[in-house]
């Protein structure tokens, strides 16, 4: 059987266009919860945001590299884990944080700030951590990835809908009030439907290789959630903020990961299976954790 490092998954240009459109809707649904005043409030009390960004863009990549170094998975699987860890938080983190009784406003703001920071931090973390591990460094050298190209892609895919959503919420809050809840459910629904359809088109590959990534993705996600909780606890944030940072660190924008994988790595098998499995598993683990957290009220 062809190895997971050699296969490329089936993904048409039309599918890429659809995924890009889905990501735009997802980010727009996050942005319509934001106003310029949210950023002003956070500037006056920045500690939770700084801790959250540190957890996401520093602690998670370090934990991911440690996992890769210790487990020594196939190179494309290792690079998939590194790439997912380099992405900003996913939009469902806001929904899950609300369900968990955490600081949903902090979660939304963290998603927004992480999205902006991802223009620099996502290509940097892919290049830096992927370059430190010899097997993944070979893939990066073979594909000749330009971090500037990744930064441009991230910027266009995430920042434009973010700016549009904030602008609409500022000038027409009556419209965003009506759109908010339906758009959140719609964006989540179409994203999960897209992953299911993408898996169906590559079902034989997924069945053959899902077992090779399932345990690693579950462990990786547990490390992300645990890392977020530890960082928020050590920095003495209240439980209300701690829940938001825990979930924000453990819920990654795997849709952006798929865009980068198919746009720059030609749908490399291990990377794509990791991102797709992440897209399913982090929702399951996040909602399960939220159910446990919601049993007790978080002190503020």
169/36 Cα distance (integer angstroms):
9
Q: What pLDDT, on the 0 to 100 scale, is given for residue 169?
A: 86
Q: What pLDDT, on the 0 to 100 scale, is given for residue 260?
A: 86
Q: What pLDDT, on the 0 to 100 scale, is given for residue 244?
A: 94
The answer to whether residues 27 and 115 touch, using CB atoms and an 8 Å cutoff, is yes
The answer to whether residues 247 and 107 touch, using CB atoms and an 8 Å cutoff, is yes
Burial status of residue 280 (CB atoms within 10 A of its CB: 0-12, 13-18, 19 or more): middle
Residues of the chain below pLDDT 50: 1-2
Tens of pLDDT, residues 189-247:
776 776 676 666 666 666 667 777 889 999 999 999 999 999 999 999 999 999 999 99
Q: What pLDDT, on the 0 to 100 scale, is given for residue 73?
A: 92
3-state SS assignment for residue 197? helix
Q: What pLDDT, on the 0 to 100 scale, is given for residue 77?
A: 92
- The CATH number of 13-291 is which of 1.20.1260.10, 3.40.50.300, 1.10.533.10, 1.20.1530.20? 1.20.1530.20
3-state SS assignment for residue 89? strand
**Contacts (Cβ under 8 Å, ≥6 apart) of 58:** none
Q: What pLDDT, on the 0 to 100 scale, is given for residue 245?
A: 96
Q: For residue 59, what are the β-bridge partners?
A: none
Q: What pLDDT, on the 0 to 100 scale, is given for residue 104?
A: 82
**pTM to 2 decimal places:** 0.85
Burial status of residue 204 (CB atoms within 10 A of its CB: 0-12, 13-18, 19 or more): exposed
Measured in degrees and rounded to the nearest 5, phi and psi for residue 268 equal: -55, 130
Q: What pLDDT, on the 0 to 100 scale, is given for residue 7?
A: 58
The answer to whether residues 269 and 5 touch, using CB atoms and an 8 Å cutoff, is yes
Domains of the chain: which residue ranges?
A: 13-291
Q: What pLDDT, on the 0 to 100 scale, is given for residue 1?
A: 38
């Amino acid at each position: 059987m062809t190895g997971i490092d050699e296969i490329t998954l089936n993904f048409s240009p039309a599918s890429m266009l659809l995924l890009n459109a889905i990501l735009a809707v997802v980010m727009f649904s996050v942005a319509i919860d934001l106003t310029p005043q949210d950023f002003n409030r956070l500037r006056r009390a920045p500690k939770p945001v700084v801790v959250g960004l540190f957890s996401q863009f520093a602690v998670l990549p370090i934990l991911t590299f440690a996992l890769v170094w210790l487990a020594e998975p196939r190179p494309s699987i290792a690079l998939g884990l590194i790439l997912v860890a380099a992405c900003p938080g996913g939009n469902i983190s806001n929904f899950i944080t609300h369900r968990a009784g955490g600081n949903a406003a902090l979660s939304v703001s963290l998603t927004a700030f992480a999205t902006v920071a991802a223009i620099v931090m996502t290509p940097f973390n892919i290049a830096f951590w992927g370059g430190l591990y010899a097997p993944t460094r070979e893939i990066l050298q073979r594909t000749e990835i330009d971090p500037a190209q990744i930064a441009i892609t991230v910027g266009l895919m995430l920042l434009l809908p973010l700016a549009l959503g904030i602008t609409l919420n500022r000038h027409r809050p009556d419209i965003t009030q009506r759109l908010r809840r339906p758009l959140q459910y719609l964006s989540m629904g179409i994203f999960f439907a897209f992953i299911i359809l993408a898996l169906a088109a590559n079902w034989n590959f997924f069945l053959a290789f899902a077992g090779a990534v399932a345990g690693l993705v579950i462990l990786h996600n547990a490390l992300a959630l645990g890392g977020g909780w530890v960082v928020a606890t050590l920095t003495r944030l209240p439980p209300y903020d701690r829940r938001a940072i825990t979930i924000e660190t453990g819920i990654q924008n795997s849709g952006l990961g798929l865009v980068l994988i198919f746009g720059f790595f030609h749908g490399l098998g291990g990377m794509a299976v990791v991102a797709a499995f992440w897209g399913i598993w982090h929702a399951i683990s996040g909602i399960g954790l939220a159910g446990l957290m919601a049993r007790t009220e978080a002190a503020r």
